[in-house]
A and B are shown apart, each in its own frame.
Chain A
Amino acid sequence: MLNETLLRFAEWLDAQAWSSGLHESYYMYNWVESTHVLTLMIFLGMLFVIDLRMLGLTMTNVPASRIAARLNIPMMIGFAIMIITGLLLYYAVPVRTTQSIWFRIKFVLLIAAGINAWLFHRRMNESVSTWDNDPVAPKRLRFAAGLSLALWAGVVTTGRLIAYDWYDCYRVNSDLIAWAAGCMAE
């Protein structure tokens, strides 16, 4: 039911002239994709610095909350650009992407990373006054920082794997793969 709805939505997008126009435009599509990838340097780059500080691996003589607060804005600017360009990339190739197992895993990892970031900020704001100047954050926050790095590594990897057609629906896949990819049409 869900897969059918998603596929119908993807087919509706696919039928729009702008969708195929974007996909078929060599420069526009490649610039959107390049911007999506290069923004990793802003978004993930800032996130790496924040997480490394929480893990006590960089700028340990600077309060952790200061690093997180000051780098939050450039990080969110990078995130916003990634979301916009990501939506455009989906809009350009909606049917294949909807039925890509890698895209689906990426989406789940993105939600998990979002929940982890929300919990991380809540825990940090609750307890920061007790450890802010410590070189290393408390265990729970270190775990959240490590989890954040692992989840984003997963997002980058699955994002990269979307380009490969190993498990595309036109191929003969196991029932599990076909189910996870939501294969209904080639």
Chain B
Amino acid sequence: MELLPFFEWMEASLLGQIGKTYGGVYAIGQSLHLMSLALLGGTVLVTDLRLLNVVLRDVPSEVVAENAHKWFKVAVSLIIATGIFMAAAVALRMYYNAFFWAKMIALATGVAFVFFVKYPLLKRDHSTINPVVIKSLAVASILLWFSVAATGRWIGFS
């Protein structure tokens, strides 16, 4: 499927024009994106470090995972919303940027991992799950979300 026309349309759209014309609004969008990333990082790390028995060892991991997942959904929604706004203003540049596509793949993998693997598994009683599986899940999650953030940051440098 040819995606170039979609990116051309995005850049010409009202959203793209707002981001292009008003530098201050664009910068606020970037800041919100970063704060959402921080919130996402907090929810992911607090859960994964708990699963690895690094933090909050005296709090049941089910409680940590359940509460963190609620805020993860808020964070990922904000990241996607602000990300669309940021990408719209420079859509054609993004289309030809390899790191943008790397980030999109990492983000899609991360979201799929959380909603189809991690959360369904963590909804169960954690004592019934093999500890090796729990720890592998936590390490995979940290690596995945680090890749999302790192590829995202590198878009600006390439």
Contacts and interface: CB of A to CB of B under 8 A. Distances in A.
Are A and B co-members of a single complex?
yes
B76 interface: no
Interface residues of A, number: 34
A44 B57 CA distance: 21
Contacts of A111: none
Contacts of A66: 56, 58-59
A186 B64 CA distance: 51
A161 interface: yes
Given A41-B40, A160-B34, A59 B154 contact: no
B55 A70 contact: yes
Contact of B31 (A26, A52, A70, A156): A156
B57 to A, nearest CB: 8
A49 B146 contact: no
Given A38-B146, A41-B42, A74 B157 contact: no
Given A70-B56, A156-B31, A160-B31, A59 B153 contact: no
B71 interface: yes
Interface string A3-31: 00000000000000000000000100010
A45 B59 contact: no
A80 B88 CA distance: 35
A164 B27 contact: yes
A46 interface: yes
B71 A52 contact: yes
Interface of B: 23, 27-28, 30-31, 34-35, 37-46, 49, 54-59, 63-64, 67-68, 70-71, 145-146, 149-150, 153-154, 157
Interface of A: 26, 30, 33-34, 37-38, 40-49, 52, 58-59, 61-62, 66-67, 70-71, 73-74, 153, 156-157, 160-161, 164, 166
